[in-house]
Amino acid sequence: MLVKGLVVAHYSSSIGLDTKYDQFLQMPVGDDSKGTSVTVLSMLARLGVDPWQEASDLAALPKKSAWERLDGLVARFTDVPSVIAERADAVSRMIASLPGGELADRTRQANAGTGTGTILPDILGNRLYLMVAIAFLVIQVAVFWFGK
């Protein structure tokens, strides 16, 4: 795609931008040498890895395997000097923020207590969309049928 003299690459991921990985991908890694805040998402992107695919792959692995795989990626990442010194702790925090990890579970439980959890919207949200779509379809058919 060409936009005012700039070439913009279009990349389509088979995973999509799944929000269940947001806590993991938005976790801060540290500041780079220019003072820019780096998240797990930007770290993975700088390493040339699809962040959502990697998050999905890590979440599917046993914790020990996921930790070792992410540790290998963090070891290659030299943009944030402070993460090198405390790599084991940083990797443990990142793994804990994956879906099913300690931080993700604690956040989900805390949100459920405040009424902002995701269980109710997931159950009702899909049904609500279906009911609205069916109602819209019925109204359209009625207008078409009786409007003549």
Per DSSP, the residues of the chain read: -EETTEE------SS---GGGHHHHT-EEEE-TTS-EEEHHHHHHHTT--HHHHHHHHHHS-HHHHHHHHHHHHHH--S-HHHHHTHHHHHHHHHHTSTTSHHHHHHHHHHHHHT--SHHHHHHHHHHHHHHHHHHHHHHHHHHHH--
What is the per-residue pLDDT across 16-39, written as a single tens digit (0 to 9) for each? 566 888 898 999 988 888 888 999
Percent of the chain with pLDDT over 90: 32
pTM over 0.85: no
What is the per-residue pLDDT across 126-140, written as a single tens digit (0 to 9) for each? 566 667 778 878 888
What's residue 136's pLDDT? 77
